[in-house]
Amino acid sequence: MSEVVDLTLTLREGMTTFPVYWHPLVEISQLGRLHYEKRETRKLVIGTHTGTHMDAPRHFIVGGKTIDQLDPSLFVGECALLDMTDFGPFTEVSKADMEQRLAGREPERLMLRFDWSDHINSEEYYTDHPFLSEECAQYLVDIGVKVLAMDTPMPDNPKNGRNSDNDSPNHYILLGQDVILVEYVTNLRALGDVETFELFVLPLKIHEGDGAPVRCLGRIG
């Protein structure tokens, strides 16, 4: 019997968001009340990159595809799972490392498990996460990866800040070649030691969206 595993952070007030003004804090306000309006409704204030979310190319690429323009067939299907938990804080995954882990496989969808979501409520979540080298990012493009998901906030070196001369190069490499990014995934331990699973990563269909929160699920067995 198959099992469905939820790989999504729960949206709640006070949750971790990237600490810059262009990523809003989460607000959830109750409007409708059962004892008065006879139904519950809520107003949500969230960003397009809040919690577990998908980056569309438009996030970094001028004229890039937006969420509503992406091929939804990429959102569901077989996904390779790589155990990267031996890469500790602020370690780089090289092209050679990735070639070794993939061992000749060329998956369309790839999930990287660092168990970094354990650090979600700490400053280190953003400052010390593992990351890909630029050569590694280009290698994933070259072998045909179309969806790259991870339980870190981003594939880039966290020291390459937004004010540096080399800001987020892996975003440009990957999104520039229409590789969809899924970030802030969680609970990857629950998938066990499988090499592949069925991925469901469904974004809100936002008109001209540069990204969108997703419900990310994995089915095993």
Would residue 197 count as lying in a domain? Answer: yes
Q: Structural domain of residue 91, as residue ranges? A: 3-8+48-220
Domain count, the chain: 1
Beta strands in 74-144 (DSSP E): 76-83, 92-93, 109-113, 131-132
pLDDT tens per residue across span 185-219:
999 999 999 999 999 999 999 999 999 999 999 99
Tokens found for residue 88 = 């500790």
Q: What is the DSSP letter of 108?
A: S
Which pLDDT does position 84 carry in this prediction?
A: 98
Q: Determine the length of the chain.
A: 221
Answer yes or no: is 29 within a domain: no
For 151-198, write each residue's pLDDT tens digit. 999 999 998 865 566 789 999 999 999 999 999 999 999 999 999 999
- Say if 83 falls within a structural domain: yes
* pLDDT for the residue numbered 162: 58
Judged by DSSP in three states, 136 sits in helix
Q: Could you tell me if residue 168 is inside a domain?
A: yes
Burial of 217 (0-12, 13-18, 19+ CB in 10 A): middle
pTM: 0.96
Q: Would 35 be classed as within a structural domain?
A: no
Say what the pLDDT of residue 200 is.
Answer: 98
As given in the structure block, the two tokens for residue 198 are: 């069925």
Read off the DSSP letter of residue 219. Answer: E
Handedness of CA 91, 135, 137, 220 (dihedral sign): negative
130 occurs within a structural domain: yes
State whether the Cα torsion 211-50-141-150 is positive or negative: negative
Q: Is 103 within a domain? A: yes
For 107, the token pair is 């998956």
Query: Over the stretch 66-97, which tens digit does the pLDDT of each residue have?
Result: 999 999 999 999 999 999 999 999 999 999 99
The strand pairing partners of 5, in sequence order, are 218
pLDDT one-digit tens code per residue, 113-125:
999 999 999 999 9
| Average pLDDT, rounded, for the chain | 96
CATH code of the domain in which 62 resides:
3.50.30.50
Q: Which tokens in the block code for residue 57?
A: 């190319």
Q: Are 162 and 40 in contact (CB under 8 A)?
A: no
Q: In this predicted structure, what is the pLDDT of residue 81?
A: 98
Domain contains 91: yes
